[in-house]
Structure 1
Amino acid sequence: MTSLALTHAKFQIIETARIPIALFGSAFFPSAAMLAFVVPFVGDNAEYATTATASMITFSVMSTNLFQYGVGVAEDRAQPWDPYVRTLPAGAGPRFAGRILAGLALMFVSLIPVILIATFLTEATVTPAAFLITAATTVVIAIPFILMGLAIGYSMPQKAAIVVAQLLFFPLAFLGGLMTGPGLAPGFVENLAPYLPTGGAARLMWAGVSDFPYDAGSIAALAGWTIALGWVAVWAYRRDEGRRFS
């Protein structure tokens, strides 16, 4: 199982590496936002720069997984290779695990430009302990967005998946408060953000890199979103399998 999952992950990464623009696109928006808004406006303030960088990392995690899984899975389903692989004796588990491992690896690669910009062009700073906590938190907050992408990818054709992913990622970023620091968003965003997956994820990241308190309400909401999106992803997968293989 582990060997097969790693093999699938390896080939997923190789396949993506053959089209570098796919990875470039995932890193572009958060990096551009860092250069356009964070560096010139709060780059010289260590506290604001640190939390803003955490917001941009959350933005990158969300957009990377939304497109990597939402569009990538829908694209794979349109290829003749996909139904063949899904009929092999190993089952869906190794390929599913391999896709998640590859997605996490590519996600961390897409975060490199954001981290480099924060390191060299701003006063953002974290302790070694906070860095490790934030790295672990990044994996945790990726889970609901992975599940969201899988739900889109397994329930929609490729053209529809692209549109839905594009329609979701910016509203989720804005309403989740990723475009501003803690307490700086408009009032309605501050009230709504803790109950959205992006807002809950951002608050976990802010707590990891700064003195921002852990918010039990937003953590519970994020856990609820994770469970709900997991259910939808499993339902979409079984629905697709029933339609294509029954």
Structure 2
Amino acid sequence: MSLVLTHARYQFLEVVRVPIAVIGSMLFPALSMIFFVVPNAGGDPVGATYATASTVTFAVMMTCLFQYGAGIAEDRAQPFEPYTRTLPAGPFPRFAGRLLTGLLTTLLSMVPIVAVAATLTEATTTPPRLLLAAGTLVVVSVPFTLMGLAIGYTLPSKAALAVAQVVFFPFAFGGGLMSAPGQAPGFVEAVAPFLPTRGSVELMWAAVAGYPVDPLAMAMLAVWIVATAALAVWGYRRDEGRRYT
């Protein structure tokens, strides 16, 4: 565990040494709140609460896809990454440290969203639901973390960044993150349950406001988790087999 924390500490320092990486992950979702949520739903307690939960899911997906997808692909091109795989401790401490760093970065990106929701909108929830939402945040990050790992271990850095960008916006729009529950265009409502973003945002809606989740969206979220986990494991083993055997 001490090795995991050591790797997490140094990886987090690597991230904050490029301040724009942290600022971007914190600023972009907050600006989305200010420009879209505040003027359109800020005065409606229910609408603002749902919109805040959607923005949180949006931020989680963005952070995980780019932190793991582009970050891992870039690290694979550095000489330190293969060196860590030759150490007696194995790759686990660095891998686990990366997950902790990503989780911490994700939590940091939530701070300005919550601040904007609390000060500029009528969004409301109870302390128990707020704690439930914090726990749900970890669950919601799972499919996007696995997706980022799959991208990072299967693609070179330039391709990984492009694929993360291509995946990000269709999943955000198609999953219904840009609209209130039940108010997305018809084709989005038809496609949304089959995307991991929909199941994730419904979990967040349920946590903060008691939204009744769609069983199909939950089933498809589980399918996405299993599929992306298998792809991430395959990508890691493929990368290890090509470079270290």
TM-score category, normalised to shorter length? over 0.9
How far apart, in 2, do the equivalents of 1:42 and 1:165 lie? Answer: 29
How far apart, in 1, do the equivalents of 2:16 and 2:52 lie? Answer: 26
How far apart, in 2, do the equivalents of 1:141 and 1:169 lie? Answer: 15
- Relative to the length of structure 1, the TM-score reads 0.98
Letter in 1 for 2:163: V
| 1:17-67 superposed Cα distances (whole Å, 9 cap, x missing partner) | 111101122223321211111000110000000000000000000000000
1:55-134 correspondence to structure 2 within 5 Å: 55-134=54-133
1:177 maps to: 176
How far apart, in 2, do the equivalents of 1:194 and 1:109 lie? Answer: 28
1:42 maps to: 41
Identity of aligned residues (%): 58
26-35 or 110-119, larger mean C-alpha shift: 26-35
Computed over aligned residues only, the root mean square deviation of the Cα atoms, in angstroms, reads 0.8
C-alpha displacement of 1:194: 1.5
How far apart, in 2, do the equivalents of 1:77 and 1:56 lie? Answer: 31
Letter in 2 for 1:164: V
Letter in 2 for 1:26: S
Provide structure 1 residue ranges, at least 5 long, that are not aligned to the other structure. Answer: none
How far apart, in 2, do the equivalents of 1:211 and 1:100 lie? Answer: 29
Q: Find out whether 1:219 has 2:218 as its counterpart.
A: yes
How far apart, in 1, do the equivalents of 2:28 and 2:169 lie? Answer: 10
C-alpha displacement of 1:164: 0.5
How far apart, in 1, do the equivalents of 2:180 and 2:56 lie? Answer: 13
How far apart, in 2, do the equivalents of 1:211 and 1:243 lie? Answer: 48
3-state SS in 2 of match to 1:203: helix
How far apart, in 1, do the equivalents of 2:170 and 2:27 lie? Answer: 18
1:140 maps to: 139
1:26 maps to: 25
1:154-233 correspondence to structure 2 within 5 Å: 154-233=153-232
How far apart, in 1, do the equivalents of 2:60 and 2:70 lie? Answer: 15
How far apart, in 1, do the equivalents of 2:167 and 2:26 lie? Answer: 17
How far apart, in 2, do the equivalents of 1:24 and 1:226 lie? Answer: 29
| 1:69-125 superposed Cα distances (whole Å, 9 cap, x missing partner) | 000000100101110011111111111111101100111001111111001000001
| 1:190-240 superposed Cα distances (whole Å, 9 cap, x missing partner) | 121111011110111111111311222211111110111000000000000
Letter in 2 for 1:132: L
C-alpha displacement of 1:7: 0.9
Report runs of 4+ in structure 1 exceeding 6 Å deviation.
Answer: none
How far apart, in 1, do the equivalents of 2:135 and 2:213 lie? Answer: 15
